[in-house]
Amino acid sequence: MTDNQNLPALTDLEFISYLDEKGEIHELYQGKIGVYAIFNQAQILQLVGYSRDIYLSLKQHLVRQPLECYWLKIETIDRPSRTILESIKQAWIKENGAIPLGNREGEDQWLKAIDVKFLMTEAEKATYQKEEEIAQIKLLKKVARRRETEILDLLDKRGVKMEIRFNPKLKEQGLLDLK
C-alpha cells in the first residue's frame, strides 16, 4: 500500500480497538505484512513494530503486555520489504517526538518470551539453587504455570475470548511464550 516516497503519517491513521466486539484480535490481520503502533488505554504510544504476520505479533504482545495493549494503528504492505517496514517504523517514532518505552529499555518485555525466573520468590530461588536438574525443571514449570494463570486472568478481565495456548516445552526452561 505504500512505497518509500509516500510514507503514511501516524496521525493520519485511525485508532483501532485492539480487540473486536467478540474479544479477539481482528482476524483480517492474519498473515498480513505491515507496521503497527500499539497504544495504551490513554492512547499513549507504547511500541512501534513490524511483522510478516501482524495478527500473531499482536497476540504475542497482548500476552506479554496485557495492560498496555488497547489501541492500534496499522499500515499493511503487499510484499515484504524490510526497508519499507523499517522506514515506516522510524518515521512513526520520529513523528511521535519520543521513542516509545517498548522501543527502548522496555523492548525485551514486548519482544521476548516471558522469563519467569525473575518472578521466583526468595524461597523458590533458594530451593532452585540446591536442587537437582529434574527438581529445578519442576520448580520452573510451577512458577511458569503460576504466571500463566495470572496472565490468563488478566486477559479474561480484559474480555479476551480467543484461545491462548502457551508452549509447554518452554515452561521447563522457565519461559512463557505462545505456541
Q: What is the pLDDT of residues 65-105, one digit of tens each?
A: 999 999 999 999 998 899 999 999 999 999 999 999 999 99
Tell whether 107 and 121 lie within a shared domain.
no
Residue 4 has what pLDDT?
A: 44
Whether 18 shows a pLDDT value over 80: the answer reads yes
Tell whether 101 and 130 lie within a shared domain.
no
Please give the radius of gyration of the chain, using alpha carbons only, rounded to the nearest integer: 18
Mean pLDDT of the chain: 95
Using alpha carbons, select from 47, 19, 51 the residue that is nearest to residue 35.
Answer: 51
Report whether 60 contacts 44 (CB < 8 A): no
Using alpha carbons, select from 139, 136, 130, 162 the residue that is nearest to residue 29.
Answer: 162
Q: Is there a domain that residue 37 lies in?
A: yes
Q: Is there a domain that residue 149 lies in?
A: yes
Q: What is the pLDDT of residues 99-144, one digit of tens each?
A: 999 999 989 999 999 999 999 999 999 999 999 999 999 999 999 9
Cell of 51: 511483522
60, 93, 111: which is the final residue of a domain? 111
Tell whether 31 and 78 lie within a shared domain.
yes
Cell of 118: 525473575
Residue 5 binned pLDDT confidence (cut-offs 50, 70, 90): low
* C-alpha span between 51 and 36 (Å, rounded): 8
Over residues 26-35, the mean pLDDT reads: 96
Cell of 35: 507496521
Residue 3 has what pLDDT?
A: 43
Tell whether 95 and 170 lie within a shared domain.
no
Length of the chain: 179
Tell whether 129 and 105 lie within a shared domain.
no
Global pTM value: 0.91
